[in-house]
């Protein structure tokens, strides 16, 4: 297996210097048309593929942006990373993606590994995070964008939905529907920040609306949301008619909950209303259709990407720059399940 051709090989065959090849490749410098044509011809002939490892080391710019999410098996993160990846791609940056499976230790290892690749910026979802991870991000010297939720206070830039606003809208919805006793499905781990903020906000809003204090349900794994929702529904039933509405952390959990309730002969929403989050496409294709919090992950990804690009631009010019704070739009999507 002979070694891949290098820039020097191309240069030799084209009768120019390596520098000229480098320039011809980037279309930016002033290389004569004829020279460029010849160089490109040789490149094609040789099947030369430039080595970005070397380029990155030399230029100090890896062309990489790191993105860390909890999982890729939820449509939310699949779509978000699509929007984010596209936006970065168009700006000539590649996305290096890691999934923590909702495990803070694993996330720490991912962050550590990814920082070794010298990304130019990093975006990370604000689920539970170890101290060490925060320290690593702080010390990385690159723009850090937290999304969906961040540390408190945020490390740098933050893009999130406002959990208090979502909670108030949710409670207002149930208030209108005459529901009195909520159950909230949330993560088992105390480390999950967004989960915690969500529960607190819902609890506060319920209290303000004169409802009973919500029952907190911590079951199952976020990696198996359908099953998690189903188990939550069972717990809600164990409350013996005291629960008339179940708020899930995502639509898949809501669908699992609805399914479990129907199998037990309960009526949804008559006996128990079920409320999701995300407005995944599937919500419109199950019966009863799922009432949920509408949130556009593709657009969120694009927004995150734009902020990363601005932050990078500012960092490059070492312009002092206030951290971005972007609150993402959402809406309550009223359907049949709640």
Partner DNA sequence: GTGAAAGCGCTAACAC
Partner DNA sequence: GTGTTAGCGCTTTCAC
> Binding residues for DNA, per CB under 7 A?
3, 6-8, 15-20, 22-23, 25-26, 29-32, 34-36, 50-51, 54-55, 57-61
For DNA, give the closer residue by CB, 207 or 316: 316
Give the closest residue to 275 by CA, choosing from 193, 177, 170, 126.
Answer: 170
Residue entry with tokens 């020097």: 8
Question: Which of the listed partners (its own copies, DNA, none) does 29 bind, with a CB threshold of 5 to 8 Å by partner kind?
Answer: DNA
Number of residues interacting with its own copies: please give it, by CB under 8 A. 56
- Residue 286's CB is within 10 A of a number of other CB atoms, namely 16
For its own copies, give the closer residue by CB, 214 or 225: 225
For DNA, give the closer residue by CB, 28 or 270: 28
User: How many Cα atoms occupy the beta-carbon half-sphere of 226 within 13 Å?
Assistant: 5
What is the nearest approach in angstroms of DNA to the Cβ of residue 78?
A: 32
> Bridge partners of 66?
96, 122
First to last CA, the chain: 63
Report the alpha-carbon distance of residue 323 to residue 337 in Å, rounded.
39
**Helix or strand or coil: residue 91?**
coil
Angle at 160 (CA atoms; ends 159, 163), nearest 5 degrees:
160
Q: Which string of x and - marks every residue 280-299 that binds its own copies (by CB under 8 A)?
A: -xx-xxxx------------
Span interacting with its own copies, options 93-101, 159-167, 173-181, 207-215, rule CB under 8 A: 93-101
Question: Which of the listed partners (its own copies, DNA, none) does 296 bind, with a CB threshold of 5 to 8 Å by partner kind?
Answer: none
**Helix or strand or coil: residue 321?**
coil
Residue entry with tokens 């065959």: 13
What is the nearest approach in angstroms of its own copies to the Cβ of residue 98?
A: 8
Report the alpha-carbon distance of residue 105 to residue 230 in Å, rounded.
28
As a dihedral over the C-alpha atoms of residue 69, residue 70, residue 72, residue 74, rounded to 10 degrees, the angle is -120
Is 151 in contact with 136 (CB distance < 8 Å)? no
Q: Which string of x and - marks every residue 109-128 that binds its own copies (by CB under 8 A)?
A: ---xxxxxxx----------
Question: Which of the listed partners (DNA, its own copies, none) does 224 bind, with a CB threshold of 5 to 8 Å by partner kind?
Answer: its own copies
Span interacting with its own copies, options 74-82, 192-200, 214-222, 238-246, rule CB under 8 A: 74-82
What is the nearest approach in angstroms of DNA to the Cβ of residue 62?
A: 11
For DNA, give the closer residue by CB, 84 or 93: 93
Classify residue 109 by burial, with Cβ atoms within 10 Å: 0-12, 13-18, 19+. Answer: middle
For DNA, give the closer residue by CB, 34 or 176: 34
> Which positions touch its own copies (CB under 8 A)?
1, 4, 47, 49-54, 56-57, 62, 71-75, 77-79, 81-82, 85, 94, 96-97, 99, 101, 112-118, 135-136, 139-141, 224, 226-227, 252, 255-256, 258-259, 262, 281-282, 284-287, 318
């Amino acid at each position: 297996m002979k070694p891949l051709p290098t820039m020097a090989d191309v240069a030799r065959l084209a009768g120019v210097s390596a520098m000229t090849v480098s320039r011809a490749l980037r279309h930016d410098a002033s290389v004569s048309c004829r020279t460029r044509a010849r160089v490109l011809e040789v490149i094609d002939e040789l099947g030369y593929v430039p080595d970005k490892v070397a380029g990155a080391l030399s230029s100090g710019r890896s062309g990489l942006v790191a993105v860390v999410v909890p999982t890729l098996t939820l449509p939310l993160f699949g779509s978000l990373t699509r929007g984010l990846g596209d936006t970065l791609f168009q700006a000539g940056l590649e996305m290096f993606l890691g999934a923590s499976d909702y495990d803070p230790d694993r996330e720490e290892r991912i962050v550590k590994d990814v920082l070794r690749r010298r990304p130019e910026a990093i975006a990370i979802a604000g689920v539970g995070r170890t101290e060490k991870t925060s320290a690593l991000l702080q010390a990385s010297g690159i723009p850090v964008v937290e999304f969906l939720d961040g540390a408190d206070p945020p490390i740098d830039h933050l893009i999130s939905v406002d959990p208090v606003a979502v909670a108030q809208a949710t409670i207002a919805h149930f208030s209108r529907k005459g529901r009195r006793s909520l159950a909230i499905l949330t993560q088992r781990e105390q480390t999950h920040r967004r989960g915690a903020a969500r529960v607190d906000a819902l609890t506060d809003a319920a209290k303000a609306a004169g409802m009973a204090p919500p029952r907190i349900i911590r079951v199952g794994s976020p990696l198996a949301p359908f099953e998690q929702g189903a188990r939550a529904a069972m717990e809600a039933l164990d409350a013996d008619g005291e629960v008339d509405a179940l708020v899930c952390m995502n639509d898949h959990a809501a669908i699992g909950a609805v399914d479990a309730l129907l199998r037990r002969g309960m009526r949804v929403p008559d006996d128990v209303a079920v409320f999701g989050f995300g407005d995944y496409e599937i919500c419109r294709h199950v019966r009863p259709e799922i009432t949920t919090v509408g949130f556009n992950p593709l657009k969120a990804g694009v927004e995150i990407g734009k902020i990363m690009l601005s932050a990078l631009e500012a960092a490059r010019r070492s312009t002092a720059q206030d951290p971005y704070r972007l609150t993402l739009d959402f809406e309550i999507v009223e359907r049949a399940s709640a």
